[in-house]
Chain A
Amino acid sequence: EVQLVESGGGLVKPGSSLKLSCVASGFTFSSYGMHWIRQAPKKGLEWIALIYYDSSNKYYADSVKGRFTISRDNSKNTLYLEMNSLRSEDTAMYYCAKSTGITDYWGQGVMVTVSS
Chain B
Amino acid sequence: DTVLTQSPALAVSLGQRVTISCRASKSVSTYMHWYQQKSGQQPKLLIYSASNLESGVPSRFSGSGSGTDFTLTIDPVEADDIANYYCQQSNELPLTFGSGTKLEIK
Contacts and interface: CB of A to CB of B under 8 A. Distances in A.
Interface in B24-57: 33, 35, 41-45, 48-49, 54
A105 B93 CA distance: 19
B96 A47 contact: yes
Contact of B100 (A44, A95, A102, A104): A44
Given A35-B95, A44-B86, A47-B95, A108 B42 contact: yes
Contacts of B94: 47, 59, 61-62
The interface residues of chain B, by DSSP majority, are classed as: loop
B97 A106 contact: no
The interface residues of chain A, by DSSP majority, are classed as: strand
A45 B80 CA distance: 22
Contacts of B73: none
A114 to B, nearest CB: 21
Interface residues of A, number: 20
Contacts of B96: 47
B63 interface: no
A107 B98 CA distance: 20
A85 interface: no
B90 A101 contact: yes
B66 interface: no
A46 interface: yes
A103 interface: yes
Contacts of A45: 35, 43, 86, 88, 97, 100
B99 interface: yes
Contacts of B48: 102, 104
The 8 closest A-B pairs by CB, nearest first: A47-B95, A45-B97, A106-B42, A44-B99, A102-B48, A61-B94, A104-B45, A44-B100
Interface of A: 35, 37, 44-47, 50, 59, 61-62, 95, 101-109
